[in-house]
Amino acid sequence: MAKLNTTVLSLCVVLAFLTGQSAAGRYYADKVQDKVRKEVEKAIAYNPSVGPALVRLVFHDCWVNGCDGSVLLDKTPTDGTNTEKKAVNNIGLAGFEVIDTIKQKVGGDASCADILVFAGRDAADILSGGKIFYTLTGGRKDGVSSSAAAADATLPSSTFDFNQLQNNFGAANHGFTVEELVVLSGAHSIGVAHLSSYQDRLAGADVTPIDSDYQAALVKVTPPGLLTQGQDPTVPNNARDASSAFQKAAAYDPVKLGVNPTRGVLDNSYYHNTLENKVLFKSDWVLRTDSFAAGKLEEYKNNATEWNSDFADAMVKLSNLPALQGKEIRKSCRFTNQQYY
């Protein structure tokens, strides 16, 4: 029996080696974190698009008054239904149902704020194939206010220039360095964006440099005129995740660029794309306009392992931004306890 166990163990080690690192079946000794993990695994297996949504939620919750679950609220006593979800800069935010399901499983054992950062961490782990992993502790309290206007005043817009981004991230606001700005922007290797978030890159007087084939391919699949007809379709943030036809039209060959062609992976492909001007947002492209940030783009393009590790560190810092108005452990992530019946 002992021999059989050793043989099975060796086989597992060999398989793990052959398939590369794997995030499958990670186990936490902490009961809450383990429940979160299992639900995130299930949710991503059922609908892979919730993975990027959960990673983005960490940024959008923690950036506004710290990690207090305020982004999850549908209404509050002070803001009515005009909560952060209604902010323009929160367009496309998703993953709320996954958080609700997890909340049902963990009940009063964890705040919604804790659930949200744990879920984002597990999503990053799974989407990176186990290459991005970090530990977090619980204890965050949930906030009881959530304002759309405050979120729009605090979250960066995709049309920001470099100075605006630096200021938004910097010491006067969130305490993040330019290096961390460049590191965290790499999250745009996954997920999708609405046409309204990159329309400024397709037409008009203020088009910032963008590869002409990539631009033409985007115009073809999402003509800017659709916006005037009330339509706002989405495309993948990363040309790597687009259809083969799109990639051909955009002259985007992941292999030639040195990018892993596997779709949906959270990795350093963003840096390859940005340096080719095959990137969606102005806020991505402007990182090229600052010499220090541009040097970091090059560094992370050439060193995937360094980016994985720096991204994990920056996510820890993000997930630990103190909850300025954290007050309670909510019964439902969508309502304050005062409004929960």
Catalytic residues: 60
Is 284 a known ligand-binding residue?
Answer: no
Is 197 a known ligand-binding residue?
Answer: no
**Measured distance CA(47)–CA(214) in Å, rounded:** 27
Q: Cα angle at 315 between 311 and 141, to 5 degrees? A: 175
Q: How far is CA 203 from CA 230, 313, 336, 338, in A?
A: 18, 37, 43, 48
User: Judged by CB, which is closer to ligand HEM: 197, or 274?
Assistant: 197
In whole angstroms, the minimum distance from the beta carbon of 246 to ligand HEM comes to: 17
Give me the residue label for tokens 């977090």.
136
**Measured distance CA(297)–CA(279) in Å, rounded:** 13
C-beta of residue 216 within 8 angstroms of C-beta of residue 295: no
Give me 204's structure tokens. Answer: 């008009």
User: Judged by CB, which is closer to ligand HEM: 92, or 251?
Assistant: 92
Within 10 A of 294 (CB to CB), how many other CB atoms are there? 16
Is 156 a known ligand-binding residue?
Answer: yes
In whole angstroms, the minimum distance from the beta carbon of 9 to ligand HEM comes to: 36
C-beta of residue 147 within 8 angstroms of C-beta of residue 82: yes
In whole angstroms, the minimum distance from the beta carbon of 165 to ligand HEM comes to: 6
Q: Of 63, 80, 74, which is closest to residue 152 (Cα–Cα)?
A: 63
Is 206 a known ligand-binding residue?
Answer: no
**Measured distance CA(250)–CA(239) in Å, rounded:** 8
Is 191 a known ligand-binding residue?
Answer: no
User: Judged by CB, which is closer to ligand HEM: 106, or 314?
Assistant: 314
Is 61 a known ligand-binding residue?
Answer: yes
3-state secondary structure of 180: helix
In whole angstroms, the minimum distance from the beta carbon of 274 to ligand HEM comes to: 12
User: Judged by CB, which is closer to ligand HEM: 19, or 262?
Assistant: 262
Catalog residues that contact ligand HEM under the rule CB under 6 A: 52-53, 55-56, 59, 91-92, 94, 156-158, 160, 165, 184-185, 187-188, 190-194, 197, 237, 281, 283
C-beta of residue 97 within 8 angstroms of C-beta of residue 57: no
Within 10 A of 231 (CB to CB), how many other CB atoms are there? 13
Is 267 a known ligand-binding residue?
Answer: yes
In whole angstroms, the minimum distance from the beta carbon of 329 to ligand HEM comes to: 25
User: Judged by CB, which is closer to ligand HEM: 288, or 335?
Assistant: 288
Residue 236 phi, psi dihedral angles, 5° rounding: -65, 145
Bind-site residues for substrate = 156
Bind-site residues = 61, 64, 66, 68, 70, 84, 156, 188, 253, 262, 267
